[in-house]
C-alpha cells in the first residue's frame, strides 16, 4: 500500500500545529483591527441623505442654533430630527424653487416623512439620554464633532462602549459652561480633572464640582 502522505507532510504538520497559535492570534488581531476600523465604526464615513442638507452651511455659515431644528435635545432622550415643517419655515421663502429641495417640498405636500439616514446609531439595547448630558454641560461637539464643518454628516467618534465609559469615568474634559454647550468653537480652557474641595481648581472652573456630577458607570444607567 503506497504512502498517502509525502514525508514532507511531517514538517508541514509540525509547522502548522505550532503556527496555529500565531495564526489564531493573527486572526484575532485582524478582527480587532476590523472592529476598530472605520469600515465597522463608520467614523469619518459620509452618509448619503435623501436631501443634501449641509450642517456646514446652516450651522457654520448661517449660525443657526442646534436647537432650532433639534428641538427636544434639552427635554428628551431624543434630540429630535426636525419635522418637514421646520425646513419649510424658511424654505417656503428662501430657495423656494430650488430643485435640491424638491424632496422637502414633496414631503410637505404629500405628508410623507423624509427618510433621513441615521448617522449616530446606537444599538437598541443602549438607552442614551440627550437631555441630561446637555443639562450637565456636555457640549454637542463632544460627541458629534465640528458639525459646522460637515457638508453631509459623518461620525467623529466610534460610539463604542469604551468611549462612553471613558467619559463617564472622567467627564471633566468634556464639560462646558452652559452658554458654550451648543457652541461649535473650542472651549478654550478645558477644566482639569483634579478633584479639589474648592470650586476653582488650578485657577479654572471645576464644573464637576459645581454641577454635582456623578456620571454613573452602572450597567443599568444605559442598559435596561
Q: Which residues form the interface with other proteins (CB under 8 A)?
A: 31, 34, 39-42, 47, 71-72, 75-78, 80-85, 107-108, 111-118, 121, 123-125, 127, 129, 131-132, 135-136, 209-212, 214, 216, 218-221, 223-224
What are the φ and ψ backbone dihedral angles of 204, each rounded to 5 degrees?
-125, 160
Nearer to other proteins, 180 or 221 (CB): 221
Q: Residue 34, CB half-sphere, CA atoms under 13 Å: how many?
A: 6
When the beta carbons of 9 and 161 are compared against other proteins, the nearer one is 161
Residue with cell 421646520: 86
Give the chain's largest Cα–Cα span. Answer: 91
Angle between helices 84-91 and 102-110 (to 10 degrees): 120
Residue 193 CB, nearest approach to other proteins (Å): 18
Least CB distance to other proteins at residue 70 (A):
10
Choice between 22 and 127, CB closer to other proteins: 127
Instruction: Supply 12's cell numbers.
Output: 508541514
Which cell goes with 183? Answer: 457652541
> d(Cα 42, Cα 21) in Å, to the nearest integer?
31
Q: Give the cell for residue 101.
A: 429641495
Cβ proximity to other proteins, 2 vs 123, nearer residue? 123
Provide, rounded to whole angstroms, the least separation between the CB of residue 53 and other proteins.
12
Kindly tell me which of 12 and 132 has the beta carbon lying closer to other proteins: 132
Please report how close the Cβ of residue 11 comes to other proteins at its closest, in angstroms: 29
Amino acid at each position: 500500500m503506497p504512502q498517502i502522505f509525502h514525508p514532507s507532510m511531517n514538517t508541514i504538520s509540525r509547522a502548522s500545529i505550532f503556527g496555529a497559535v500565531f495564526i489564531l492570534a493573527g486572526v484575532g488581531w485582524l478582527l480587532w483591527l476590523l472592529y476598530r476600523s472605520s469600515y465597522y465604526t463608520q467614523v469619518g464615513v459620509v452618509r448619503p441623505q435623501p436631501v443634501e442638507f449641509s450642517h456646514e452651511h446652516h450651522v457654520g455659515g448661517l449660525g443657526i442654533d442646534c436647537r432650532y431644528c433639534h428641538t427636544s435635545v434639552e427635554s428628551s432622550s431624543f434630540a429630535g430630527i426636525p419635522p418637514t415643517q421646520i425646513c419649510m419655515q424658511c424654505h417656503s421663502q428662501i430657495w423656494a424653487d430650488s430643485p435640491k429641495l424638491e424632496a422637502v417640498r414633496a414631503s410637505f405636500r404629500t405628508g410623507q416623512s423624509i427618510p433621513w439616514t441615521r448617522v449616530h446609531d446606537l444599538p437598541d439595547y443602549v438607552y442614551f439620554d440627550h437631555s441630561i448630558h446637555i443639562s450637565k454641560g456636555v457640549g454637542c461637539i463632544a460627541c458629534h464633532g465640528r458639525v459646522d464643518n460637515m457638508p453631509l454628516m459623518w461620525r467623529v467618534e466610534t460610539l463604542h462602549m469604551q468611549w462612553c465609559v471613558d467619559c463617564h469615568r472622567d467627564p471633566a474634559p468634556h464639560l462646558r459652561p452652559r452658554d458654550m454647550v451648543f457652541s461649535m468653537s473650542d472651549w478654550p480652557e478645558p477644566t482639569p480633572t483634579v478633584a479639589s474641595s474648592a470650586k476653582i481648581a488650578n485657577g479654572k472652573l471645576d464644573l464637576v464640582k459645581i454641577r454635582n456630577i456623578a456620571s454613573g458607570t452602572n450597567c443599568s444607567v444605559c442598559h435596561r
